[in-house]
Every structure is written in C-alpha cells, then in structure tokens.
C-alpha cells in the first residue's frame, strides 16, 4: 500500500518540479494576491466618513463618539440634527455611515437592565466597504462595552447586562486593525483557491492524456491513487502557507501570537480538506477545463461569501448560516484568527479541526466511490 502510494506521489512531485512555469505560478501568485488584496483593503477603510445624530448629547454619548473618532478609521464629516437630514446625508454621500444615539442612551446604558439601542445606518451601495464598516462598528461597540461593563458591575453590583446591544462579533483585534484582521481570511482564501485548483487538474490531466488507463490497469487502489496524487500538492501548499505568512509579516506586520506547531498542524488539516475538494473535482470532471471551472467555483465563491472572511456569518439568515458549512475556509479562518491574532490554544478551536477532518473524510470517500464507479464501469 505505502509503496504504491509513494510511487504515485513521487512521480507527481517530479513532474511538478519539472514544470517550472506551473511552479512559478503556484508560488508567486498567492503572495502577489496577498499584497494586492492586503493593500487594497488597507487603503479602503481608513477615514470612514461618519455622520452623527446625537439626540442626547450626554457625557457618555460624546465619549462613545470619541471612541470611534480617536482611531484613524472614523472621521466625523457631518453633524445631524433631525431625521430628514439622515437621508440627505447618505444620499449626498456626505457620510458613509450615520450613527444615531437615542435620547435615552445614557439612561439605558447605565441601567443594567435594558441595553441602550443605537443605530448605524451604513451606505450599502459598496457592499464590500459596507461590511468592512460594519465590522469596525461592531468592534468599536464591543470595545466600548468592555471598558464600561466592569465599571457598571462595580457600581450597581448587577449582572453582566451588555450596556449597548450590538452583537460582539470580533472580540479580538481590539485596536481595530483591519489588515491584520483580514489577513487570516486572505490566507485561507488564497490557500484554498490555489490548493483546490492545482489538485483538481492532476487526475484529469492524466485522463486527457490517456495515461490514467495505464494506472487503472495496475493493482493500485483508488484511495492509494487519490492520496498519492494529493500528497505533493499538500506539501506545496504548506510551503505556500509559510510564504504567505512571511509576506503577511513583512508587508503588514502580522505576527503569529500563538503556537507555530499548532498553526502548522491546523494548516495541514485545512489543506487536506482543500486537496480533498480538488480531488473530488478532478474525479468528477473529464477535461481540465471543466475541472478548472468547478474548482474555481467551489473554492473561490464560498470562501469569499460564506466563510466570514468579509461578511460576518452571525448576521446572515439562518438558512445561509447553515450553508456556510460547505466551505472549509470558514473553519480555518476561525482557527487562524484564534492562533495568529489571539494566541489561543487548541481548546479554543478543536471542534473546527474536527469538522475539517470529517469534511475531508467525507469528500475523499465520495471521490473514491465516484472514481471507482467511473473507472470500473463505463470507461
């Protein structure tokens, strides 16, 4: 078993190493993507134009506004005094986001019974910026809450009612550094896309050239073939992951707070899930073109939209939230953010890893069954 698997893997690796053009693409593309994306994202989000409609004008409301503007991410460009003005402000693009603080803001804030309800109206035309702004807002509110929660508890001795009601989604990255925050998502995205596509092409290439027949007629089993094919790409993707992380450090100062071994193991598990996706795509397809299309589609789209990379999963409809489980990126992003940004240990994300292992096994099992069906019956 091992010797046949090794024969396949060795051959695949040799072919890959000889294909210098492919190697160049594999290793340069991800880093390039990271740089482009990273800077694009970085530039986009500075100096968000903030309109403020503070109905109460209390100390605490002013302090909340200050907490937003003290970072370089928000800048008050408009002060609003009635509701009609809000619409105008957004229509005329005098602000990208309007904050409304109600009259009872301070009352509810300190009441420890009902949370203070505040409103953010975000210009949704540019969906991408909108969700980034939303992420900022969430983080800012949470940071603010955190700061006051202890004071309130100390003063009233009451339970930990959240002063302002906004779901805390990003409770790490408190200093609101988007780039750092987005890097894990980017890493996951780039890795999954490159791994799935490269693997997807391997088996189908042999189908096109006809060399697969020679393999099928040998005593090799399907699982040996599929694992042997994935293995070299797994190694390549691991090297890629290190390169991206290095680029992340050099370009954007992203430092891994957590354990490197843990990071390595988690990445390996994630990449295994990716190569399993690629193998499945390769097994289903009969031409490189089809395989490429399927691989791009299943790796890129869900990883951007459903992974929580840009759009927070918690704010999606329930049905869509369930759907997010189809992308391994979702789970890896949680793990990466935990390890890189928070320095968390295994206890914080072992369920994610478990899911990834389950995911890989199911996909690989499926690929094995389909490949057997396709080769042993009808060509």
Partner 1 sequence: MMNSITINNLTKRFGNFTSVDSISFDVKEGEIFGFLGANGAGKTTTIKMLCGILSPTEGDALVAGFSIKKEPNKVKLNIGYMSQRFSLYNDLTVEENINFFGGIYGLNGSRLLERKQWVLKIANLNGKENLLTASLPGGIKQRLALGTAVIHRPKIVFLDEPTSGVDPISRRNFWDLIHNLSSDGITVFVTTHYLEEAEFCNNIILINAGKLIAEGSSKELKTNYLKNDLYEIECSNVVDALEILEVQNFVEETSIFGNNIHISVNRNFSSTQQIESVLLSNKDIKISRVNKIVPTLEDVFIHLLERDKK
Using CB under 8 A, pick the residue from 82, 84, 217, 317 that binds partner 1: 217
Does 15 bind partner 1 (CB under 8 A)? Our answer is: yes
- State the number of binding residues for partner 1 (CB under 8 A): 27
Residue 224's Cβ-count burial label (10 Å; 0-12, 13-18, 19+) is: buried
- Tell me if 14 contacts partner 1 by CB under 8 A: yes
At closest approach, how far in Å is the CB of 19 from partner 1?
7
Entry field: residues in the chain: 379
> Which residues 6+ apart lie within 8 Å of 362 measured at CB?
none
The distance of closest approach from Cβ of residue 9 to partner 1 in the complex, given in angstroms and rounded to an integer, is 10
- Piece of 30-38, 123-131, 175-183, 206-214 that binds partner 1 (CB under 8 A): 206-214
**Position 375 contacts partner 1 (CB under 8 A):** yes
Write down the least CB distance from residue 285 to partner 1, Å: 19
Out of 109, 149, 190, 210, the residue judged to bind partner 1 by CB under 8 A: 210
∠223-224-229 over CA atoms, to 5°? Answer: 100
Piece of the chain touching partner 1 by CB under 8 A; list 181-189, 212-220, 249-257, 295-303: 212-220
Does 211 engage in binding with partner 1 (CB under 8 A)? yes
Number of neighbouring beta carbons within 10 Å of residue 241: 23
Residue 291 CA to residue 285 CA, distance in Å, equals: 5
**Minimum separation from the CB atom of position 210 to partner 1 (A):** 3
Sheet with 97-101: strands ordered across: 74-79, 48-54, 97-101, 119-122
377 is a site residue for partner 1 (CB under 8 A): yes
- Closer CB to partner 1, 11 or 75, in the complex: 11
Choices 8-16, 137-145, 235-243, 253-261 (CB under 8 A): range interacting with partner 1: 8-16
**Within 10 A of 185 (CB to CB), how many other CB atoms are there?**
23
Q: Is 216 in the site for partner 1 (CB under 8 A)?
A: yes
Query: Could you say whether residue 215 binds partner 1 (CB under 8 A)?
Result: yes
**Distance between CA atoms of 328 and 301, rounded to whole angstroms?**
12
Beta carbons within 10 angstroms of residue 157's beta carbon: 8
Name, in order, each residue with C-beta under 8 angstroms of 49's C-beta and a sequence gap of 6 or more. 75, 77, 78, 94, 95, 96, 97
Long-range interactions of 154-159: CB distance < 8 A, separation 24+? 155/110, 156/110, 156/112, 158/112, 159/112
Helix-strand-coil split of the chain, %, nearest 5: 70, 5, 25
Contact 257, 339 (CB under 8 A): yes
Q: C-beta of 4: minimal distance to partner 1 in Å? A: 5
> Is residue 75 left, alpha or beta, with left meaning phi > 0 and alpha meaning psi from -120 to 50?
beta
Q: What's the min distance (Å) between Cβ of 198 and partner 1?
A: 16
Determine if 371 is a binding residue for partner 1 (CB under 8 A): no
When the beta carbons of 203 and 247 are compared against partner 1, the nearer one is: 203
Strands (E), the chain: 48-54, 74-79, 97-101, 119-122
Q: Which stretch binds partner 1 (CB under 8 A): 256-264, 274-282, 326-334, 369-377?
A: 369-377
351 binds partner 1 (CB under 8 A): no
Shortest CB 263 distance to partner 1, Å:
33
Beta carbon nearer to partner 1, 26 or 335 = 26
The span of 83-91, 119-127, 217-225, 343-351 binding partner 1 (CB under 8 A) equals 217-225
Q: Residues 218-257 vs partner 1: string with x where CB under 8 A?
A: xxx-------------------------------------
Sequential DSSP letters for 9-68: HHHHHHHHHH-HHHHHHHHHHHHHHHHHHHHHHHHHHSSEEEEEEESS--HHHHHHHHHH
Choosing from 213, 242, 264, 320, the residue that interacts with partner 1 (CB under 8 A) is 213
8 A C-beta contact, residue 332 and residue 188: yes
Site residues (CB under 8 A) for partner 1, limited to 19-48 = 19
Residue 175, helix vs strand vs coil: coil
321 in contact with partner 1 (CB under 8 A): no
Binding region for partner 1 (CB under 8 A): 3-4, 6-8, 10-11, 14-15, 18-19, 209-211, 213-220, 375-379
């Amino acid at each position: 078993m091992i010797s046949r698997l090794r024969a396949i893997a060795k051959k695949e690796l040799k072919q890959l190493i000889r294909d210098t053009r492919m190697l160049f693409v594999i290793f340069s593309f991800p880093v390039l993507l990271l740089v482009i994306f990273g800077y694009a994202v970085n530039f986009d989000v500075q100096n968000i134009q903030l309109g403020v409609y503070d109905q109460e004008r209390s100390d605490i409301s002013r302090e909340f506004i200050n907490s937003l503007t003290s970072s370089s991410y928000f800048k008050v460009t408009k002060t609003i005094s009635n509701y009609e003005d809000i619409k105008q402000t957004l229509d005329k693009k005098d602000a990208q986001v309007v904050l409304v603080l109600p009259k009872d803001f301070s009352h509810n804030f300190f009441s420890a019974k009902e949370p203070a309800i505040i409103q953010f109206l975000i210009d949704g035309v540019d969906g991408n910026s909108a969700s980034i702004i939303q992420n900022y807002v969430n983080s800012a509110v949470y940071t603010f809450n955190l700061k006051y929660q202890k004071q309130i508890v100390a003063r009233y001795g009451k339970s930990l009612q959240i002063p302002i009601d906004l779901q805390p989604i990003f409770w790490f990255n408190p200093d609101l550094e988007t780039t750092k925050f987005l890097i894990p998502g980017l890493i996951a995205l780039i890795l999954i896309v490159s791994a799935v596509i490269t693997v997807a092409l391997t088996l189908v290439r042999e189908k096109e050239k006809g060399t697969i027949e020679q393999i099928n007629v040998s005593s090799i089993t399907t699982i040996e073939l599929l694992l042997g094919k994935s293995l070299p790409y797994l190694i390549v993707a691991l090297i890629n992951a290190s390169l991206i992380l290095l680029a992340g450090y050099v370009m954007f100062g992203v430092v891994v707070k957590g354990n490197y071994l843990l990071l390595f193991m988690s990445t390996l598990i994630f990449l295994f899930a990716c190569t399993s996706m690629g193998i499945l795509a390769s097994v289903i397809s009969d031409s490189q073109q089809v395989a490429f299309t399927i691989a791009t589609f299943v790796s890129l789209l869900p990883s951007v939209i459903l992974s929580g990379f840009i759009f927070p999963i918690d704010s999606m409809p329930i049905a869509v939230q369930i759907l997010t489980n189809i992308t391994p990126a979702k789970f890896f992003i949680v793990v990466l953010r935990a390890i890189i940004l928070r320095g968390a240990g295994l206890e914080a994300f072992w369920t994610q890893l478990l899911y990834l292992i389950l995911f890989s096994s199911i996909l690989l099992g499926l690929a094995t069954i389909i490949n057997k069906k396709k080769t042993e019956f009808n060509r």
